[in-house]
Chain A
């Protein structure tokens, strides 16, 4: 029965386990008692302090600021270039890697200073369709609208 239930489920799936789609798309991390925050919920222990059992779940903000970026002009077959990749600092104290959308790559290269500290917000979209027909949802960041 379980198999059958799975087969009929064609709903969207997140590209990485720390992207949660409900109730609205957001990132879910884990926080160690020492303060270190991680995305992968299955990690063995804290690589900052070494403790294994001091994690608690942490819902991460959908807003952050760009730390650094690059504009990728050469990539693997099937990946459209140029695009902006960025490291985004979230207010909780963790950095996330993602694409930066709604930013002109050429302009970013001309005026990199305008990208540093740029306030951004999380957005999601369909990135691919998997072998079972599920839409695969990826997240990126765009300049904050408010």
Chain B
């Protein structure tokens, strides 16, 4: 029971990170109907940017790690947003009128480029930082297994919750959100009505990247290690989360993220950690095949 509780906590933490990445997938899919395959690698890149900024601030400027984390998070968000802005301009913008698989193929190319770009510039090995923010709160004690909750985990879940609330507000209440929803429905009509479609799409990519950067920084904080191939598997899992939650739906993305995080940790605990990726990938296949509109998505009526 204690072990289950502990894995539940770990699963929610991991799930929050997946959820943050999944929002990027779901928003881009919602607005231009494209699976942004490179998003996982954007996440990985953001973790590297955070890592380098952290080292820069702690080693060069001598800031304490705890204090450095806030500017690191902010810097990583900005720089990753710039990356994704450029990626959209370079790799996707021209393809909106192309054949239907063109954006996906371009995104696969971009994903391959990004992961190898980081390999080339930073080397293929694990990069680990000394653990940060190590305080833990024991929840149970005295048993043979103590359930703990770390400050990091609290921080991760809290940041996810706050960001989700903030972006929910943006999409529901602001003119940007209205423009986004208008482009989702009918980009041509939105353009005729004076919505700057290009700007809206760019902003969507920028927001998605900023959230991925938060996820990347939190990932680094929680696990303390990152390598250049870390974009692929978390990316696919986050995509699974987006599909499971119902692609296009923001709360769905977070819900899906939590579900994937829980499945992964519980599977790793009770079955086999070697096969935990198999569990996630199978879940992806099963979801796409049997419930492609997910938990909170709208059913997709085929237009004839």
Question: Is the pairing of A and B real?
Answer: no
- Name A residues whose Cβ lies closer than 8 Å to a Cβ of B: none
